[in-house]
């Protein structure tokens, strides 16, 4: 029935929009907590409710009611159009992003190509925003942003081809299904080229999402605020929703192509298939019998939770890098792409092609996945153990000691 298909499309669109908007609110809260923790800042102590979550809600309400100002010299049509094109470019990628075993809005055989293509359209919104603002600072920021995003998309796309060659498919559902069972089956541990491609892809994806240390186009000290200098209110928030949506989208591609997709890596079975076999299905009688597979639905709930948590972890790494590394100059940003990341990605593509053609027939190479996966697992265990066992003083301890020592000294100076 056409009406039923339209209803399903509308419901899927609303679910994805809700997820993108809720994720943006959650990521803003997480980024503030991560920044405060890494920089040893106490943060607000009398606002925001428990854990400061109300502060993000208050900021969202402020953006909704804030006055929407358009500069006199701006092109009103392009100024209004820019934020929505940028957001649509990031949102459309979620249509082909599978959150579980078959849990996808549209199952495409060219899902990888589609996601990279639609996410690249975000640059049009940025150019229109910079040009339509009628400000030279916004125009400079927009041109720098466009040059950075277009440049980094080239090595990022080449790195995506590396696991596609191993999997033999651009269908993300198929690629995710191939990585079930133990975590050594993840394509990240297939060979040294896919392992290096994961980190190269993640670096390029971070730069493509305009995240530090590659966010010079939005450097406050050089360009005020980059391409969105003249924006405020709701339209300004659309740019940041597009950025956070793109962060999760590129993280989702990395998880599906390299890190096992919706699989935990520790279960020898897929929860959706196992529960579907165990619980079976329920049929509702009528003119058109309706079959509901409760086991498959329950198993995919687990898959979706695993996939979202993995995506959040990679987004957390992007935040971690932002508040750890200093910002690069624009020439360093472009040199890192054209002089280093682009040749590295081409070498990885050539290497994995040779590996598949000449070395894939050797059975002893299967032990490589176990060796590399075991080494990474051991490293993760050691880092986690150090994280929870290392004694760290509160951020105000050193300041309190300094004030205690400085008090008598200031008193003596006052007497003199």
Confidence of residue 269 (pLDDT cuts 50, 70, 90): confident
Q: 3-state class of 384 per DSSP?
A: helix
Q: Would you say residue 322 lies in a domain?
A: yes
Per residue in 286-312, pLDDT (tens digit) is 556 555 677 788 888 889 999 999 999
Would you give the end-to-end CA distance of the chain in angstroms? 91
DSSP code of residue 329:
P
Instruction: Give the separation between CA 304 and CA 308, rounded to whole angstroms.
Output: 6
Q: Would you say residue 34 lies in a domain?
A: no
Q: Which residue has the higher pLDDT, 193 or 387?
A: 193
Q: Is the pLDDT of residue 155 over 80?
A: yes
DSSP code of residue 211:
-
pLDDT (mean) for 379-388: 87
Q: Would you say residue 291 lies in a domain?
A: yes
Q: Would you say residue 36 lies in a domain?
A: no
Q: Would you say residue 13 lies in a domain?
A: no
Q: Which residue has the higher pLDDT, 364 or 257?
A: 257
| Burial tier of 137 (Cβ tally within 10 Å: 0-12, 13-18, 19+) | middle
Phi, psi of 291 (to 5 degrees): -105, 125
Q: Is the pLDDT of residue 335 over 90?
A: yes
Q: Would you say residue 394 lies in a domain?
A: no
**Mean pLDDT over each residue of the chain, to the nearest integer:** 85
Q: Which residue has the higher pLDDT, 245 or 397?
A: 245
pTM exceeding the 0.85 threshold for the entire prediction: yes
Give the total number of structural domains in the chain.
1
Q: Which residue has the higher pLDDT, 219 or 11?
A: 11
Q: How many CB atoms lie within 10 A of CB 242?
A: 27
> Biggest alpha carbon distance in the chain?
98
Instruction: Give the separation between CA 390 and CA 408, rounded to whole angstroms.
Output: 33
pLDDT (mean) for 71-76: 91
Q: Is the pLDDT of residue 7 over 60?
A: yes
Q: Which residue has the higher pLDDT, 198 or 359?
A: 198
Q: Would you say residue 12 lies in a domain?
A: no
Q: Residue 369 sits in which domain range?
A: 69-381
Question: Do residues 263 and 180 lie in contact, with contact meaning Cβ atoms separated by under 8 Å?
Answer: yes
Structure confidence at residue 158 (pLDDT): 96
- For 8, 26, 183, 234, the CA distances from 21, given in Å and listed in that order, are 20, 9, 31, 13
Q: Is the pLDDT of residue 411 over 80?
A: no
Q: Would you say residue 229 lies in a domain?
A: yes
pLDDT (mean) for 204-216: 87
């Amino acid at each position: 029935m056409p009406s039923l298909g339209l209803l399903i499309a509308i419901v899927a669109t609303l679910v994805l929009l809700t997820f993108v908007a809720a994720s943006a609110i959650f990521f803003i809260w997480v980024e503030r907590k991560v920044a405060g923790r890494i920089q040893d800042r106490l943060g607000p102590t009398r606002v925001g409710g428990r854990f400061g979550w109300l502060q993000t809600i208050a900021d969202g309400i402020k953006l909704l009611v804030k006055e929407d100002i358009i500069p006199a010299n701006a092109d009103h049509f392009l100024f209004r159009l820019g934020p929505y094109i940028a957001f649509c470019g990031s949102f459309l990628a979620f249509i082909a992003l599978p959150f579980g075993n078959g849990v996808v809005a549209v199952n495409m055989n060219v899902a990888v190509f589609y996601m990279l293509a639609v996410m690249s359209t975000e640059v049009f919104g940025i150019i229109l925003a910079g040009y339509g603002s009628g400000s030279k600072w916004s125009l400079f920021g927009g041109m720098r942003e466009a040059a950075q995003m277009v440049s980094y998309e080239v090595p990022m796309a080449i790195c995506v081809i590396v696991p596609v060659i191993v999997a033999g498919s651009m269908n993300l559902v198929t690629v995710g299904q191939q990585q079930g069972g133990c975590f050594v089956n993840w394509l990240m541990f297939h060979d040294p080229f896919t392992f290096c491609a994961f980190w190269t892809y993640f670096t390029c994806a971070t730069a493509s999402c305009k995240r530090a240390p590659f966010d010079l186009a939005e450097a406050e000290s050089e360009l005020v605020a980059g391409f969105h200098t003249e924006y405020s209110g709701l339209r300004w928030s659309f740019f940041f929703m597009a950025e956070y949506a793109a962060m999760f989208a590129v993280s989702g591609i990395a998880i599906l192509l390299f890190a096992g997709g919706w699989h935990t890596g520790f279960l020898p079975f897929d929860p959706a298939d196992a529960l579907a076999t165990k619980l079976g299905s329920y049929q509702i009688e009528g003119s058109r019998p309706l079959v509901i597979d409760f086991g498959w639905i329950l198993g995919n709930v687990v898959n979706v939770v695993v996939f979202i948590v993995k995506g959040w972890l990679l987004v957390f790494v992007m935040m971690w890098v932002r508040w750890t590394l200093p910002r690069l100059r624009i020439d360093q940003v472009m040199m890192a792409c054209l002089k280093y990341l682009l040749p590295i990605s081409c070498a990885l593509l050539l290497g994995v092609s040779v590996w598949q053609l000449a070395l894939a027939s050797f059975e002893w190479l299967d032990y490589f996945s176990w060796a590399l996966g075991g080494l990474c697992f051991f490293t993760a265990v050691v880092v986690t153990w150090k994280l929870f066992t290392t004694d760290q003083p509160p951020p105000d301890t050193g300041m309190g000691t300094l004030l205690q020592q400085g008090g008598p000294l200031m008193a003596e100076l006052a007497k003199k």
